[in-house]
Amino acid sequence: MSELSTATLLINAPDRKGLVHAISTFLLQHNGNILHADQHQDAAEQLFLMRIEWDLDGFTLVGRQAIEQAFAPIADTFNMRWRLDLAQERHRVALFTSQYEHCLSDLLHRHRTGELKCDIPLVIGNHESVRDLVEAHGIPFHHIVVTPENKAEAEARQFALLEEASIDTVVLARYMQILSPLFVEKYPNRVINIHHSFLPAFDGARPYHRAHARGVKLIGATSHYVTSELDEGPIIEQEVQRVSHRDDVAELVEKGRDLEKIVLARALKWHLDSRVLPYNNKTVVFD
């Protein structure tokens, strides 16, 4: 079996009896061989959340349209919110960056080695300093200056580039600009950010400086989907590291950058693997 001949359903529905039976029966009726199935019941919200992946070799429904049309009546019966992902349809990812290279460099390396199974047709940055790094990986770099006065014009240029490249996911690899509500609306739960703090602590700017001033014993990093509320989107992944009074701000920043790279890469990989199910401003990340 090729790893590219699989399909995945991510499902969010009011919790009730018969959900698993209906989904598994649908796959059985069309000769689907289930490879992975994971589910979670959110008792407080009375929701059923599921990820189910199956082999498309021998599956009698061929193509996205056929599968979606056949599954839609079941989804309607159970009032599901659902998404179908096909492994053969590779995500097309745009990286946004400023002048900090650590997250950008790490993602480009992981992409080159095949760890991140996606296409990266372009990188957009508001500083020229990363151009050589990006172009060394054979990826076009687009420099778009963003100021308070030209923000709408700059985003219009960004939108044009994203649409031309058929981008479905945007990753903010330490992109030090706040996106407009219009941008977020165009890519709901498809803009992934790395925040250099263990949210909800020290949101906004200069978190390491504020953490040092507070005398924290742990620093962290958080990757989340971007919403119109700054640093308030559904959290995908977090990591922490112990620090002490001996660490100055520069040392906190250095340690934090290692956390940022790891956390952002994990979040993107899980997103690409259809393992992240956002709901009610939080997420379930399936194994």
Residues 189, 195, 199, 201: is their CA dihedral positive or negative? negative
Q: What is the pLDDT of residue 3?
A: 58
Q: Where in the chain is the domain with CATH 3.40.50.170?
A: 91-285
Catalytic entry in 55, 119, 231, 273: 231
> Which pair of structure tokens corresponds to residue 167?
């981008």
Helical packing angle, 102-112 and 249-272, nearest 10°: 30
Cα–Cα dist 134/132, whole Å: 6
CA dist 186 and 252 (Å) reads 35
Q: What string of pLDDT tens digits covers the 287 residues of the chain?
A: 445 699 999 999 999 999 999 999 999 999 999 999 999 999 999 999 999 999 999 999 999 999 999 999 999 999 999 999 999 999 999 999 999 999 999 999 999 999 999 999 999 999 999 999 999 999 999 999 999 899 999 999 999 999 999 999 999 999 999 999 999 999 999 999 999 877 667 777 788 788 888 888 888 899 999 999 988 999 999 999 998 898 888 888 888 899 999 999 999 999 999 999 999 999 999 99
Backbone angles phi, psi at 185, to 5 degrees: -65, -35
pTM value is 0.92
Q: How many CB atoms lie within 10 A of CB 216?
A: 22
- 38 carries an active-site annotation: no
Please list the residue range(s) of the chain that carry CATH number 3.30.70.260: 6-86
CATH number for the region 91-285 comes to 3.40.50.170
- Is there a contact between 32 and 54 (Cβ–Cβ < 8 Å)? yes
**In the CATH hierarchy, which fold is given to the domain comprising 6-86?**
Alpha-Beta Plaits (3.30.70)
Give DSSP secondary structure letters for 114-151.
Answer: TSS-EEEEEEEESSGGGHHHHHHTT--EEE----TTTH
